[in-house]
Amino acid sequence: MKRILLATVAVAALGSASALAADLPQRPEYKAPMMAPAPVATWTGCYIGGNIGGAFGNADASAPGGEVSGNGSGFAGGGQVGCDYEFGGGFVIGARELLDYTSNNKSGTIGTGALAGTTVNFNNQWFDTLTGRLGYAIQPAWLLYFQGGAAWAHTSTNFSGPGIAGQTSNSRTGWTIGGGVEWMFAPHWSAFLEGNYMDFGSNSGNVTLNAVPVPVTVKATESDVLVGVNYHFF
């Protein structure tokens, strides 16, 4: 009888413990925090930035019976501003304004003709380009592009020698074509490497030789290789 009583008490105790456990609040289930999706690079928007690089020019001056050509190089640096729009499929169109100052100088001596022995110094102080560009995003953060449009430059050409007096200094208008690659290395930030060719045509003027005017024609072209950084406003 005693054993039956003890068994009954034990069963009752177990039942009470189970009921008490059921009434206790359940331990919350752990869930891993939701991760925000990584931002997808886009080229749609406007930007502003700076650039540095090298400028490589070729100029020639001709006078009756003679001419001289000069190749020179110098530093180039400045800034740019533009806007792009990315279509589906990775195609990008845009427009950009770039203004760079340069230390490009070159000189030579006319060997024959009316101005034989005259030293000619060519100097390009700055160039400005307004271009449209067409690009393709080979990956979301990498853009290959081609560009072309109008170009302006301020050049001066100095003629010096016995009995010589003259200088041409003006702003020239021409055209440009080029291309490059741009990398979106962080949100809002990109870096680019590009090369461009600019042709400013020819300008005519006069220098004096012993107070006698002598007609001259000056032609100029310019190439550049630039690296730069842009900040994008998305």
Q: What CATH number has the domain bearing residue 112?
A: 2.40.160.20
Domain membership of residue 10 (yes or no) is no
Handedness of CA 161, 162, 164, 167 (dihedral sign): positive
Higher pLDDT, 29 or 56: 56
pTM of the entire predicted model: 0.80
Domain membership of residue 139 (yes or no) is yes
125 and 102 Cβ atoms separated by less than 8 Å: yes
Ordered alpha helix ranges (H), the chain: 2-23
Residue 7, pLDDT score: 42
Percentage of the chain beyond pLDDT 70 is 83
Torsion of CA 49, 122, 71, 177, to 10 degrees: 40
Least confident of 142-151, 186-195, 211-220: 211-220
φ, ψ for residue 23 (rounded to 5)? -80, -20
86 and 122 Cβ atoms separated by less than 8 Å: no
- CA dist., res. 154 & res. 52, Å (int): 19
- Host domain of residue 229: 45-233
Domain membership of residue 38 (yes or no) is no
* Nearest CA among 227, 206, 224, 203 for reference residue 215: 206
122 and 74 Cβ atoms separated by less than 8 Å: no
Task: Tell me the per-residue pLDDT of 84-134, one tens digit each, with 9 for 90 and over.
Answer: 999 989 999 999 999 999 998 888 999 999 899 999 998 889 999 999 999
* Nearest CA among 141, 191, 143, 192 for reference residue 39: 141
- CA dist., res. 223 & res. 226, Å (int): 10
Residue 167, pLDDT score: 77
* Nearest CA among 234, 136, 231, 131 for reference residue 181: 136
Domain membership of residue 75 (yes or no) is yes
Residue 234, pLDDT score: 84
CA angle 222, 47, 95 (to 5 degrees): 50
Q: Three-state DSSP class for 30? A: coil
Domain membership of residue 153 (yes or no) is yes
Domain membership of residue 64 (yes or no) is yes
Least confident of 1-5, 50-54, 127-131, 180-184: 1-5
Q: What is the mean pLDDT of residues 185-204?
A: 95
Task: Tell me the per-residue pLDDT of 66-87, one tens digit each, with 9 for 90 and over.
Answer: 999 888 899 999 999 999 999 9
Domain membership of residue 152 (yes or no) is yes
Domain membership of residue 206 (yes or no) is yes
> What is residue 37's DSSP assignment?
P
127 and 100 Cβ atoms separated by less than 8 Å: yes
Structural domain count, the chain = 1
Q: What is the mean pLDDT of residues 189-207?
A: 94
- CA dist., res. 41 & res. 67, Å (int): 53
Q: pLDDT class for 31, splitting at 50, 70, 90?
A: low
